[in-house]
Structure 1
């Protein structure tokens, strides 16, 4: 069990209930900043783990069994405690390496064309949500080869969010938003072996928030 897997499971649980990580913490009666990205790493740079008490409160607030949460840690969707099954919905799926090619996204950054596959997901509030399959090791340890990330074009993007960015030159990358001003954005690479990036806003075609990832 890895540090990133636990936090990813919390993000996934929040997304499945239509909440941000802050909203999930608030529903559980915790400090709204308890699950913020800045709280996941200590001042000394060492990973910080959520407490067992925090996880217990989150599971109680969402009506989620521990077995279901453990499934999310390994990338499985939550097993909802409802007598009526949740069918979820199907969303477009594309390999990240293909996403920079023409014909897959419209001018607004939404999925278009017939070259997409599909996957089933829990119900998402964004009708334009889509999925990208990670290939290679350039985004480890956060996202690994074969992981599928769920992306929401219509979710607000805040500092510290993990995002998919497409540049005006057609490059597509998954990064963390460090900061955004009226003229520039700064992005942190998920793999520490890769450099960070800074762009003028005019160089960015679109930037979409990553909601969660599954294996």
Structure 2
């Protein structure tokens, strides 16, 4: 089953659902489901809703990776509606050194390399998504040491987004992204990386060799004991 269309049709048939029945169960229009099965790729959000209704792993449905079974058992609320629970995706927690060694659109780790994983219901993520634990005080007060973030390398940052970037020494740094609206002599867009803590200096891509690794999509703050 090499295509999303084939996987979707197979999963729907396994549940003995017509396109109309799946549309009602998922909240996605029948025409959208028909388009997906015809090979017309639509939004990841539609795919997520369909996967939830079918009880399959959204990553398997969208990308053909992993196993078909959903990571979590689905439950129904008092009205018979599906409850989407946490833990649909496991995101590897890697070190700043591992993140700094990333290549473009290449997994920075091998499956099984991570010693710890975070569970998330952000299932519209690429297979390259990873997690980092914040260290240092440069992003206080919003990000404290020990907080964890989930980062997707395939999401282009917008002004004001928080990003992970290589700092020129094959190690990662976490800062706020600010494009400068101009290009360097090599045609690369110039940008700044801004700390939130005023005691730390900003970083400038036209002065220090910086490369964006990915954009933060989730922040988790943990209560200090």
For Structure 1 versus Structure 2, the TM-score category normalised by the shorter chain is: 0.5 to 0.7
Q: Could you tell me whether the CA contact under 8 Å between 1:95 and 1:134 is conserved in 2?
A: no
Matched, 1:191 2:191: no
Partner residue, 1:182: 183
Partner residue, 1:210: 216
Structure 1 residue 145, shift from structure 2 partner: 1.4
Partner residue, 1:122: 121
**CA–CA distance in 2 between the matches of 1:156 and 1:197?**
19
Q: Could you tell me whether the CA contact under 8 Å between 1:174 and 1:190 is conserved in 2?
A: no
Q: Could you tell me whether the CA contact under 8 Å between 2:100 and 2:165 is conserved in 1?
A: no
Partner residue, 1:171: 171
Structure 1 residue 109, shift from structure 2 partner: 5.6
Partner residue, 1:83: 82
**CA–CA distance in 2 between the matches of 1:125 and 1:213?**
16
Please provide the CA RMSD for this pair: 2.9
**Structure 1 residues 205 and 198: alpha-carbon distance in aligned structure 2, compared to 1, 3 A threshold:** closer
Map residues 1-150 of structure 1 onto 2, 5 A cutoff: 83-86=82-85, 87-96=87-96, 98-99=97-98, 102=101, 105-108=102-105, 110-113=107-110, 114-116=112-114, 117-127=116-126, 128-150=128-150
**Structure 1 residues 188 and 133: alpha-carbon distance in aligned structure 2, compared to 1, 3 A threshold:** same
Q: Could you tell me whether the CA contact under 8 Å between 1:185 and 1:201 is conserved in 2?
A: no
Structure 1 residue 155, shift from structure 2 partner: 1.2
Q: Secondary structure at the match of 2:177?
A: strand
Q: Could you tell me whether the CA contact under 8 Å between 1:109 and 1:206 is conserved in 2?
A: no
Structure 1 residue 207, shift from structure 2 partner: 3.4
Q: Could you tell me whether the CA contact under 8 Å between 1:95 and 1:135 is conserved in 2?
A: no
Structure 1 residue 107, shift from structure 2 partner: 4.5
Aligned length: 135
Q: Could you tell me whether the CA contact under 8 Å between 1:93 and 1:119 is conserved in 2?
A: yes
Structure 1 residue 203, shift from structure 2 partner: 2.0
Structure 1, unmatched stretches of 5+, are: 1-16, 19-79
Structure of higher RCO (CA pairs closer than 8 Å, 6+ residues apart): 1
Larger Cα-atom Rg: 2
**CA–CA distance in 1 between the matches of 2:104 and 2:121?**
27
* TM-score (norm: length of structure 1): 0.53
Structure 2, unmatched stretches of 5+, are: 1-43, 46-75, 185-189
